[in-house]
Amino acid sequence: MERARARQPRKVVAQSHELEAHPQAVRVTVWLCATRPDSVWKLSPPRDTLGLALRGEEGALRHVALTVNGVRHELELEPRELLAYVLRERLGLTGTNIGCDTSSCGACTVLVNGESVKSCTMLGVQADGLEITTIEGLARDGELHPVQQAFHEHHALQCGYCTPGMVLAAVSLIEAGAATDEQAIRLGLEGNLCRCTGYHNIVKAVAAAAGVS
């Protein structure tokens, strides 16, 4: 089967024959595999064939304490609530955008204890005790973070929808010392999709922020 160039192959185990035999099976499989391993088994698979909803396990609300952008929050969460929705709907931090339901686009990327994570691949309850940084928390004293500034200077955003996730993915890539050259940046940002910029200026901005040419 030809559609083998799946993004992030390490996460996608759906085989092509499943695609042909069972179109709906693929998404379910991909979803589960793309979800962080420790959360996979807590999710029951979607029941509806169109993937409209992902039902969580039944059960009581869970008490969760997490720190977001330096502020501690205590929340009563349904076990099924994804971190992305906790940020957006419970905390009103709508800078974290949602662009897909298969953990493919990266629009929802945040930093969890400093490392970039797609916040739709993580349950809110898993964030108990963790430190989250969203795009709203990146600027310091009102000044844009150097990566944000580089995005501005290099015209690395158009519609801006992918931007919060892209910026945070870039911050984490640079901090990990992995933004070593153009190719490394391109590979490092593979999990974040942008439909507007063709990535040209994003790569330039990240290289500039990382101090590589």
Partner 1 sequence: MTVVGTPIKRREDEALLRGRGSFVDNLTLPGTAYMAVVRSPYPAARIVSVNLDAARAAEGVIAAFSGADLADEWAGPLPCAWLVTEDTKNPPHYPVAIDVARYQGDPVAVVVAESRALAKDAAELVEVEYEPLPAVADVEQALSDGAPLVHEELGTNECYVWKLETDGIQAAIDAADVVVTRRYRQPRLIPNAIEPRGVLAQVGPTGDVTLWSATQTPHIQRFVLQLVLGIPEAKIRVIAPDVGGGFGSKIQVYGEGPLAIVLARRLGRPVKWTEERSENYLGTIHGRDVVHEVTFAATKEGKITAVRSEAWCAMGAYLELVTPGIPLLGAWLYSGPYEIPNYSVTFTGVFTNTTPTDAYRGAGRPEATYVLERTMDALARELGMDPVELRRKNLIREFPHTMASGLTIDSGDYHASLDRLLEVLDLDAVRAEQAARRERGDVKQLGVGFSTYNEMCGLAPSRILGAIRYAVGGWDSATVRFQPLGSVQVVVGTSPHGQGHETTFAQIVADRLGVGVDEVEVLHGDTAISQLGMDTYGSRSLAVGGIALWQATEKVIAKARAIVAHQLEVSEDDLEFADGTFRVKGSPDRSMDIKAAAFAAHAAHNLPDGMEPGLEETATYDPANFSWPGGAHAAVVEVDTETGDTRLVRYVAVDDVGRAINPMIVDGQVHGGLAQGIAAALYEEGVYDAEGNLLTTTMATYLVPSAAELPSFETDRTETAADNPLGVKGVGETGTIASAPAVVNAVVDALSHLGVTDVPLPATPERVWNAIQEVRS
Cα-Cα-Cα-Cα dihedral sign, residues 176, 71, 119, 97: negative
* Rounded least distance, CB 102 to ligand FES, Å: 7
- Report the half-sphere exposure of 13 (CA within 13 A, side-chain side): 8
| 32 touching ligand FES, by CB under 6 A | no
Cβ-based nearer residue to ligand FES, 84 or 93: 84
| 196 touching ligand FES, by CB under 6 A | yes
Using CB under 6 A, which of 134, 148, 197, 201 touches ligand FES?
197
CB 206 within 8 A of CB 172: no
Q: Give all strands of the β-sheet with 71-77 in edge-to-edge order.
A: 71-77, 62-68, 131-133, 109-112, 115-118
Closest CA to 185 of 164, 171, 165: 171
Q: Which does 79 bind (CB under 5 to 8 A by kind): ligand FES, partner 1, none?
A: none
Part of the chain binding ligand FES (CB under 6 A), chosen from 51-59, 71-79, 123-131, 188-196: 188-196
| 155 touching partner 1, by CB under 8 A | yes
Part of the chain binding ligand FES (CB under 6 A), chosen from 22-30, 133-141, 159-167, 179-187: 159-167
Binding mask 117-136 for ligand FES (x = CB under 6 A): -x-x----------------
What span, in angstroms and rounded, lies between the C-alpha atoms of 196 and 42?
36
What span, in angstroms and rounded, lies between the C-alpha atoms of 35 and 39?
7
